[in-house]
Structure 1
């Protein structure tokens, strides 16, 4: 009789231990599941944000339409770089853009000057070099001459260009050696997206009757 009672007590003790282990496993599994759910949610949000930024970086950017220069028979003092957003590009704030040009020996780096934005320069026709912007553009700054802007987004304080907009970057290049047969390279790098490429060789000679020349 005592043997049976002893065996029953042992079975009860074993059952309680198993229950404790089971409850502990359930708690551990619950904690692990909670951590996994939180981690997966964070990773999903991070992946979505990264994907959006990557798409914006790849799809957005600037393209160079053409480059015009005005010379003084020896050097090109003023350069107008026509740019437009790439197809499918997000709006680009030119206030955050950086223009870099080099003649191989000297490098020019220019940031936007918010007092050098001529919104109505070409509404009545005329040459881009007749704009008042050139009076305030320095070697380390660039101005903006608006060629086409249907929604009026490219203003002095908010020079944002979007689909269909065309502007000319007004650059004072007197600090560069742009005499005949000079190789010039550069970029217009926006805050995000692909930069506009500048690459041309100046003409073999500068003519008096052709002050404005197409460079690219």
Structure 2
């Protein structure tokens, strides 16, 4: 049997400890790399989510005023909204926006007509410039831009009652109401409640505030 060598035993233990120590450092380095990458991903995700949330809150279309055109049959057959950017909003492109209309006949989602013409049959809303120095309409890109948004409502055939219209966008009678929700490309929403005056008999051929 070989004699016990205290120095050699110490050397072997030292090497094993060093190997274990180096392995621990490598594992810690890999773990740190994973944590750093994960933290970076989460930070970017949080930043993107924050930007999206800000746009959804701030990029709204505001309605400054609204009127309804009254037909000879004492029905509101067109809604006109004067719109503008909300405070803090960026560019709002109505080409990519939708309007949710909820009336007495149910709900209808309207898209923008490329020619800017409102069409009740096609389910499209129209736009026109009221104040637009750089001719950007249907894009609201300045605080002083003013754009008119039109929604056409379908009237009954001559001599028929308004209840014969099955279109969700049927004309409104006196005293009726409707909900109009503007949804921009970023997902922000602005809701306007239309309230038609009780009597329209004195307003035929004119416009009434709604």
Counterpart of 1:151 in structure 2 is 134
Distance 2:203 2:17 in 1: 101
Output the TM-score relative to the length of structure 2.
0.82
Contact 1:83 1:196 in 2 (8 A): no
Is the 2:76–2:172 contact (alpha carbons within 8 Å) kept by the matching residues of 1? yes
**1:99-138 mapped onto 2 (5 Å cutoff):** 99-116=99-116, 133=117, 137-138=119-120
Uncovered stretches (5+) of structure 1, i.e. residues with no partner: 117-132
1:180 maps to what in 2?
Answer: 174
Moved more, 85-94 or 159-168: 159-168
For residues 134-182 of structure 1, the C-alpha deviation after alignment (integer angstroms, 9 at most, x for no partner) is: 6xx343011101101122221xxxx211222111111111232411111
- 2:69, 2:208 within 8 Å by CA — same for their partners in 1? no
Distance 1:177 1:78 in 2: 8
The two structures have a TM-score, normalised by structure 1, of 0.80
Q: How does 1:38-187 map to 2 (within 5 A)?
A: 38-72=37-71, 73-116=73-116, 133=117, 137-139=119-121, 140-154=123-137, 159-162=138-141, 163-174=143-154, 175-187=169-181
- Give the distance between the partners of 2:46 and 2:132, measured in 1 at CA: 35
Q: Distance in 2 between matches of 1:33 and 1:107?
A: 54
Q: 1:101 touches 1:107 (CA, 8 Å); kept in 2?
A: yes
- Cα deviations by residue, 1:33-85 (Å, 9 ceiling, x for unpaired): 21122222222222222222222222221111111111223311111111111
Q: Distance in 2 between matches of 1:209 and 1:172?
A: 18
Q: Tell me the CA shift for residue 10 of structure 1.
A: 1.3
Q: Which residue of 1 aligns with 2:162?
A: none
The number of equivalent residue pairs is 192
1:201 aligned to 2:195? yes
Return the alpha-carbon distance in structure 1 between the equivalents of residues 174 and 145 of structure 2.
32
How far does residue 208 in structure 1 lie from its aligned partner after superposition?
5.2
Pairwise CA distance, 1:209: 5.5
Structure 2, unmatched stretches of 5+, are: 155-168
